[in-house]
Amino acid sequence: MTWDILCRVVDNHGDLGVCWRLAADLARRGERVRLWCDDASALAWMAPQGQAGVQVHPWPEAAPAGGLGEVVVEAFGCEPPLAWLQAFGQAARPPVWINLEYLSAEAYVARCHALPSPLMAGPAAGRTRWFYYPGFTPDTGGLLRETDLLQRQSAFDARAWRHDHGLADGALAVSLFCYEPPALASLLARVAQAGAQLLVTPGRASAAVRALPPPAGLAPRWLTARPQPAFDELLWACDLNCVRGEDSLVRALWAGRPFVWQIYPQDDGAHHEKLQAFLDWLQAPPSLRAFHAAWNGLAAPELPPLGPALLAEWRACVQSARQSLLAQPDLVSQLHAFATEKR
């Protein structure tokens, strides 16, 4: 089938990152994919080699000359252009129209997953849009997971990676991909106290670190932008991963290493409940809940020391969650079956 994926960028690491992983995974499974995006510039470093079977186009004003694909994925409620809505309404056999929603562990996800939303007015009146929710449980759409992920992970040599990146043997390695967390100064102090090596991703994370006075003994390693497979390897190689948003949260889960998540902050505070729902699903121990509360501004910005016992407790929690996720079908497998059924 031909898949049209529509993406409007809010956070180019997140929205575009999810859409690219989806597009590339579909193409590797033999599907034809057109990714339509209002700002695909981040793909220059996120996916510099591209992917056979994926075509990247600017945000469209008109419907494709040859018609829409068999499946149209509207990522995160971005709303198709008027010309596409008209094409939906006029097609003798309209595409399967799927709204791929944001990831959440909240209870409404299972209730709303795969529900139809008939359009009652406008140029696409009479057509149906389907709401598709990624999630962490079998009654949701699952998570993005490439078919070769476990093979790549098994073949990865973390010690060699650390050596190639100039990291000392045996030293704690902490990756940092964040916005501007309230407890960042506390984390830097704890990293310095533990004699750990901090690997800082470019962009907002590096700007936030540079804006603070560095603790004595801390010499951050400033990373360059890296493609998605190389970002995965960074998470596999580190002992603690600080991640943000949606895409890197999923990659941290697959990495199976201790991590702390900075959820995308919302003005109305809705992200607080979303964070708590995720920690409930994760069955996070009290220490990990407290760390997340401080990291996300829900408690005083003071973090505990990064000791071996703490990280071991978190690692056991993440590994248990990872095993439960591996027992569930991945998102692309489920999405393909869903689209095929609705055709």
Residues 228, 208 contacting (CB under 8 angstroms): no
First-last CA distance in the chain: 10
pLDDT score of 182 more than 70: yes
Residues 66, 55 contacting (CB under 8 angstroms): no
Q: How many CA atoms lie within 13 A of 270 on its CB side?
A: 5
Residue type, 41: S
Cα gap 69→63, rounded to integer Å: 10
Q: What does the pLDDT look like over 267-301, one tens digit per residue? A: 777 788 999 999 999 999 999 999 999 999 999 99
Active-site entry in 74, 101, 146, 246? 246
Q: Return the pLDDT at 169.
A: 85
Domains in the chain (CATH in brackets) are 2-142+329-342 (3.40.50), 149-326 (3.40.50.2000)
Q: What does the pLDDT look like over 86-99, one tens digit per residue? A: 999 999 899 999 99
15 is catalytic: yes
11 is catalytic: no
Q: What does the pLDDT look like over 108-130, one tens digit per residue? A: 999 999 999 999 999 999 999 99
Q: How many CA atoms lie within 13 A of 61 on its CB side?
A: 0
Report how far apart, in Å, the C-alpha atoms of 66 and of each of 63, 69, 91 are: 8, 9, 12
Active-site entry in 4, 15, 25, 330? 15
Q: What does the pLDDT look like over 227-269, one tens digit per residue? A: 999 999 999 999 999 999 899 999 999 999 999 999 987 777 7
Q: Return the pLDDT at 148.
A: 97
The confidence band for 207, taking pLDDT boundaries of 50, 70 and 90, is very high
pLDDT score of 178 more than 90: yes
Nearest to 246 by CA among 219, 222, 264, 265: 264
Report how far apart, in Å, the C-alpha atoms of 41 and of each of 150, 202, 223 are: 29, 16, 19
Give the residue-averaged pLDDT of 42-48: 96
Q: Return the pLDDT at 271.
A: 80
Q: Return the pLDDT at 12.
A: 62
Give the residue-averaged pLDDT of 188-208: 97
Q: What is the mean pLDDT of the chain?
A: 95
Query: What are the CB-based long-range contacts (under 8 Å, 24+) for 111-117?
Result: 113/139, 113/140, 113/141, 114/141, 114/338
The confidence band for 106, taking pLDDT boundaries of 50, 70 and 90, is very high
Q: Return the pLDDT at 266.
A: 75
Q: What does the pLDDT look like over 54-83, one tens digit per residue? A: 999 999 999 999 999 999 999 999 999 999
HEC letters along 279-333: HHHHCCCHHHHHHHHHHCCCCCCCCCCCCHHHHHHHHHHHHHHHHHHHCCCCHHH
The confidence band for 307, taking pLDDT boundaries of 50, 70 and 90, is very high
Cα gap 239→312, rounded to integer Å: 10
Q: What does the pLDDT look like over 322-342, one tens digit per residue? A: 999 999 999 999 999 999 999
Tokens at residue 244, please? 């943000």
Give, as one character, the DSSP assignment of residue 257.
S
- Determine how many CB atoms are found less than 10 A away from the CB of residue 10: 13
pLDDT above 70: percentage of residues in the chain: 99
pLDDT score of 153 more than 80: yes
Q: Return the pLDDT at 300.
A: 92
